[in-house]
Homo-oligomer: A and B are copies of this chain.
């Protein structure tokens, strides 16, 4: 909901220097260069040499997108990568008959469109902003060029790809290895809590997804998700207040997985 741009002032100076050279627009969707943006580039590529960082910043250009904007669609020729500054993006696979499946939700700081860009094959997923979005875009050719000249960055990219793959494997578990829908949902809640959990308030998470979206993530119907949420509440496994979800009985929830 609250979609505040967090700015890291310490970083700003370093960035401002690099950003001077960033005067090369690569498409219509470029609105402004990445100045207010926290530029998580150096979070992702934090262990690169300063020279590489500047190079990277030179080829990237920032843009903003409204909620619901489509960054790219499935099957499209890969144009490049998006590095999210703020806002989240859902990555979905969709079938001919309109069903769609959310494979991953990329949070701010993450990188989107990487596999397609690296391999050159059509994007295997579509990307849609689920919040107002600010992102750095790097066109494919320049990005590849950058990787070729920058071995350490290429290795870093390989690591990122491995992590994306890792997340995808977890997704496969939802879909393939769960007996019941209850199992899927329990697994989803626990996973979500693990990755989005507030550190201090144990078991409290903010869940900004609709039932529909959760259904698309775990491969179930909207109604089933609603029913299961009701069931979990009835059994005192979870509580829901607004968009806050509290895991009241984590152990019981984990029990469902093993069943």
B124 pairs with A166, CB closer than 8 A: yes
B177 pairs with A94, CB closer than 8 A: yes
State in angstroms the CA–CA spacing of A15 and B96 once bound together: 48
Q: Please, which residues of chain B bring their CB within 8 A of the CB of A149?
A: 151
Q: Chain A contact residues: over half helix, strand or loop, or mixed?
A: helix
The 8 A CB mask of A147-162 against B (1 = contact, 0 = none) is 1111110110111011
Given contacts A101-B172, A172-B172, contact A155 B163 (CB under 8 A): no
A residues 166-213 near B (Cβ < 8 Å) are 166, 168-173, 175-179
Q: Please, which residues of chain B bring their CB within 8 A of the CB of A164?
A: 165
Size band of the A side of the interface?
35 or more
Per assembly, the copies of the chain total 2
Q: Please, which residues of chain B bring their CB within 8 A of the CB of A119?
A: 159, 162-163, 166
Q: Which listed residue (B99, B150, B176, B219) contacts A93, Cβ 8 A?
A: B176
The 8 A CB mask of A106-135 against B (1 = contact, 0 = none) is 000000001110110100110000000000
CB distance from A72 to the nearest CB of B (A): 14
Given contacts A93-B173, A95-B177, A176-B93, contact A115 B154 (CB under 8 A): no
State in angstroms the CA–CA spacing of A99 and B95 once bound together: 26
Given contacts A101-B177, A175-B219, contact A165 B158 (CB under 8 A): no
Q: Please, which residues of chain B bring their CB within 8 A of the CB of A259?
A: 97
Q: Please, which residues of chain B bring their CB within 8 A of the CB of A37?
A: none
Given contacts A151-B150, A151-B154, A154-B154, contact A173 B115 (CB under 8 A): no
Q: Is residue A103 contacting chain B, with contact meaning CB distance below 8 A?
A: yes
Given contacts A169-B103, A172-B171, contact A148 B157 (CB under 8 A): no
* 10 nearest A-B pairs in the assembled complex, by CB-CB distance: A151-B151, A119-B162, A175-B175, A154-B154, A161-B161, A95-B177, A115-B162, A101-B176, A124-B169, A154-B155
